[in-house]
């Protein structure tokens, strides 16, 4: 696995160096709200149920959207550690991540408009099991944090554009 991944990374880097257009990718999410606050998501052929816990008005049939943000960060760190350890030839037996996010719900509930709606702070612990030296692992950490897509997405603003498409229903149909 490790050799195959190392080869894939090297080949992909060479390909993207030669052809910048080949590096451009677009990912997509399609979702639709169901009963209450439950929503069903398609990510390519993968399905996901998202909901809110009862205290936030849902039936807890899945994680909520802000929990997905933490899952995205934790897993992106792990995958990036594995990829960069492999590429740099640094031994890495295991990697696991715990991430916490603090949110002040007065933002979402419009109780205080000076309170942001999203996370005020995110903290995590990355646990590495490795026979490498501390210096090598600090070097690895630097490479990972400079290239982890989700860490970049959270740390720096992403331009988001949302269009509205309205299908008018009759009052009778809506009742």
Number of residues that bind a second copy (CB under 8 A): 128
Subset of 51-90 contacting a second copy (CB under 8 A): 52-53, 57-58, 62-83
Q: How far apart are CA 98 and CA 115, in angstroms?
A: 25
Subset of 120-149 contacting a second copy (CB under 8 A): 120-131, 134, 137-138, 141, 143, 145-149
> How near is the Cβ of 18 to a second copy at its closest, in Å?
10
The residue from 24, 114, 135, 139 that contacts a second copy (CB under 8 A) is: 24
Total Cβ atoms within 10 A of residue 80: 21
46 touching a second copy, by CB under 8 A: yes
> How near is the Cβ of 138 to a second copy at its closest, in Å?
8
> How near is the Cβ of 132 to a second copy at its closest, in Å?
9
Total Cβ atoms within 10 A of residue 104: 15
> How near is the Cβ of 92 to a second copy at its closest, in Å?
8
Subset of 150-169 contacting a second copy (CB under 8 A): 150-169
Q: Give the 3-state secondary structure of residue 35.
A: coil
Total Cβ atoms within 10 A of residue 76: 19
> How near is the Cβ of 61 to a second copy at its closest, in Å?
9
Token output for 97: 């991540």
Q: How far apart are CA 125 and CA 141, in angstroms?
A: 12
Question: Do residues 52 and 37 lie in contact, with contact meaning Cβ atoms separated by under 8 Å?
Answer: yes
Q: How far apart are CA 50 and CA 67, in angstroms?
A: 10
């Amino acid at each position: 696995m490790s050799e195959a991944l190392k080869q894939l990374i090297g080949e992909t880097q060479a390909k993207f160096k030669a052809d910048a257009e080949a590096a451009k990718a677009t990912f997509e999410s399609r979702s639709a709200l169901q009963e209450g606050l439950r929503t069903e998501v398609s990510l390519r052929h993968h399905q996901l149920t998202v909901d809110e816990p009862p205290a936030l008005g849902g039936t807890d049939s899945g994680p909520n959207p802000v929990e997905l943000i933490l899952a995205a960060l934790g897993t992106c760190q792990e995958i990036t550690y594995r990829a960069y350890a492999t590429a740099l030839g640094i031994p890495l037996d295991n990697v696991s991540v715990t991430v916490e996010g603090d949110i002040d719900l007065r933002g979402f509930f419009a109780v205080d408009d000076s309170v942001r709606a999203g996370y005020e702070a995110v903290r995590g612990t990355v646990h590495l099991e490795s026979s490498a030296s501390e210096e090598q692992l600090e070097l690895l950490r630097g490479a990972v944090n400079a290239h982890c897509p989700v860490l970049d997405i959270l740390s720096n603003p992403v331009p988001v554009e949302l269009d509205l498409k309205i299908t008018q229903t009759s009052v009778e149909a809506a009742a």
